[in-house]
A = this chain, B = another copy of it.
Amino acid sequence: LNQEQKIVIIGCGAGGGTAAQFAKKQHRKSKILILEKGKYPQYSKCGLPYVLSGVIPKLSDLFEFSEEWFKKAGITLSTNTLVDKIDVNKKKVIAKKDDEIIEESYDLLIISTGSKPFIPPIKNIFLKDKLIDGVFSIRTIDDIKKIQNSVKKGKRAVVIGAGFIGLEIADNLNKIGINVKVVEALPQILLTTFDEDMSKIIYNKISEKIDIILNSTVTKIETKNGKINQLLIKNNKTNIEQKIITDFLILAVGCRPEVSLAKNIGCKIGKTGGIIVNEKCETNIKNIYAVGDCTEFLDFVTKRPVQIGLGSIAVRQAITAGINASGGNYLMPKGVLQTRTSKFFGLEIAGVGPTMDFLISDKIVTATFKGFSLPPYFPGGKPISLKVIADKKSGKIISAQAVGNNAAQRINSFATAILAEMTIEDFKKLETAYSPAVAPTIDIVTIVCDIISKKLKIK
């Protein structure tokens, strides 16, 4: 290990910022430089929706680590610095800071370039290469600033995309009295994260509070005085078109890994479009790591590559890359569990592992159970619906989805079981914590497994 190695990190999101911290912790003499194209220090992207409603009062509340903080930690953060090129042979990066071109050599490089929002092909969505007035994506502080200006002016919003972020945005706009409609091209909400049956439970709950238009695509934006005014929405099944008047439109249809720098130097890009990394978060190029939304890694159970889109995984990759870049030896687990959660319209939901769409239906067994957080005789018990999927042959737990009370912490128990490769037979006997005021004698996390256990015996 070079005593004074220089680690350059491209991007100061959760991935880059965390990698810097752990690289420094691992080896105090490592020189660490973060090049961030934006003007802000490290902030929470996941917190952005909550600023719209004021649940998080100000955008600056989202700043997690300031330039001063990094400075004190012995890390140099250079904002407004856009990396143009990586020179692998000379081991340096060429960047533009403000209007100046700078070159920085590196011993080790960590790419954390994140992802860019996907812009759906809607007629009139662009005006001179820019999103037309009233149309917003939601990836950055500046996006939220623009939406906040619109919020002042209008009272009707359409969100495209009923994934986690689309529904979080819808909830936060709804909270301040905006009339929100969500348009989703697919026949269900939360398609990649929840199965149809569980998604339906969530849909039924939240469609009491806002309109969700399924199976539908926004095909055209009609403007008035150069500003959005009306949307043309087509039902993909019936082809029937409808018009919806709106004051603004928010795009929440997912992101694409930002890999242009990596691609140019020959980093292998996987099927999902993300940079391929190993358990050490190394790319195929020596001394170059990649972490976060710009990468892909294997699903723990299916071993199928998945595009990283969760801050929780980005941070864990960043810890791994940071430690390894500074001479440590740290491995990610054999794959990602994709443990996920959100809360909107008062409903907590969570999941771990692949949904049915990524599994072969005759190789799995599933069970769904609706129970309560407290014993029947204790007042105040709250409903929870839980679905679990197991492998028919091995009996191992593959994935779980929960809607309702303490969904996330319950899913964490399943995440533990999946990481430990536990079988249904072992997990169903888990002694869960019981006390009338806290939880039932047998928590539904094991009740649902007992149901699967019976199905596994019949198979």
Interface set of A (CB-CB < 8 Å, partner B):
14, 44, 46-47, 50, 55-56, 61-62, 64, 164, 168, 310-313, 315-316, 332-333, 336-344, 348, 350, 352, 375-379, 406, 408-413, 415-417, 419-420, 422, 426-427, 429-439, 441-443, 445
Contacts and interface: CB of A to CB of B under 8 A. Distances in A.
A250 B164 CA distance: 52
Given A339-B431, A348-B438, A406-B406, 9 more contacts: A315-B442, A336-B431, A339-B430, A341-B438, A344-B437, A352-B431, A410-B412, A412-B443, A420-B420
A338 B337 CA distance: 28
10 contacts: A47-B378, A56-B379, A61-B377, A312-B434, A333-B429, A341-B438, A343-B435, A348-B438, A412-B445, A416-B422
B377 A47 contact: yes
Contact of A312 (B341, B348, B417, B432): B432
A326 to B, nearest CB: 15
Contacts of A46: 434-436
A383 to B, nearest CB: 16
B378 A408 contact: no
Contacts of A55: 378-379, 437
A69 B64 CA distance: 58
A19 to B, nearest CB: 14
Most buried by B among A337, A415, A416, A433: A433
A433 B47 contact: no
A315 B443 CA distance: 12
B416 A433 contact: no
Nearest to A380: B55
A341 B164 CA distance: 32
Contacts of A411: 433
B415 A430 contact: yes
